[in-house]
Chains A and B, each alone.
Chain A
């Protein structure tokens, strides 16, 4: 089975812009979760989608949003980018409602 894929792998944006990141889960997986990884804050949970519904949400401002499509692919969007949004954004998929998560390689976002 193919693993979790994320596109693009690298992204450079400027402050104030918005960005959309994409995640394709492992075939058959219905849950997709997003995490932000920074040197200062470590790994932090953003949100989780299961069968196109947001099921859990972390403590991030409303500028961070996401969605999931009927084929389980997911996108996350960050609007009005700030320098502090520079991070590695990781997507993880799992097969069931409560199951082991498998991570993609991440998207490295740099905000200038």
Chain B
């Protein structure tokens, strides 16, 4: 079946540091790929998405490129802020319905 693997956290960075959170997937066909973010005590917020190979999703300074050849969708941000501290989930959708398969989540902690 489909699966998503994320780097384990926590990831601890200083403010303005460069962020990379690795995400790889296993799926048949051509899934859509997503990054969601969860702040403490809240639900998931869609951060960005890509629906086909070589697409780049971007939002609020975050970017991720759909790499089919390496089955990856790594999340990057050039300069993190304290307010980016949260848990980040990589996910894929690969069927006729709306069913997301999630990675285990990566906690990001940004220190001032």
Contact B43 A50 (CB under 8 A): no
Interface bracket on A:
20 to 34
Contact B97–A48 (Cβ < 8 Å): yes
Q: How far is the CB of B85 from the nearest CB of chain A, in Å?
A: 18
B102 near A43: Cβ-Cβ < 8 Å: yes
Taking CB atoms and an 8 Å cut-off, the chain B residues in 9-45 that contact chain A are 34, 36, 42-45
A interface: dominant SS: strand
| B residues contacting the other copy or chain, number (CB 8 A) | 21
| Interface contact A98-B46, CB-CB below 8 Å | no
Q: What 1/0 flags go to A88-104 for Cβ under 8 Å of B?
A: 00101010011111111
Q: Is A72 an interface residue (CB 8 A)?
A: no
Is B45 touching A103 in the complex (CB atoms < 8 A)? Answer: yes
Check A102–B46 contact: CB distance below 8 A. Answer: yes
Asked if A43 meets B89 with Cβ closer than 8 Å, knowing A48-B98, A48-B99, A98-B98, the reply is: yes
B-binding residues in A (CB < 8 A)? 4, 6, 31, 33, 35, 42-45, 48, 50, 55-56, 58, 90, 92, 94, 97-106
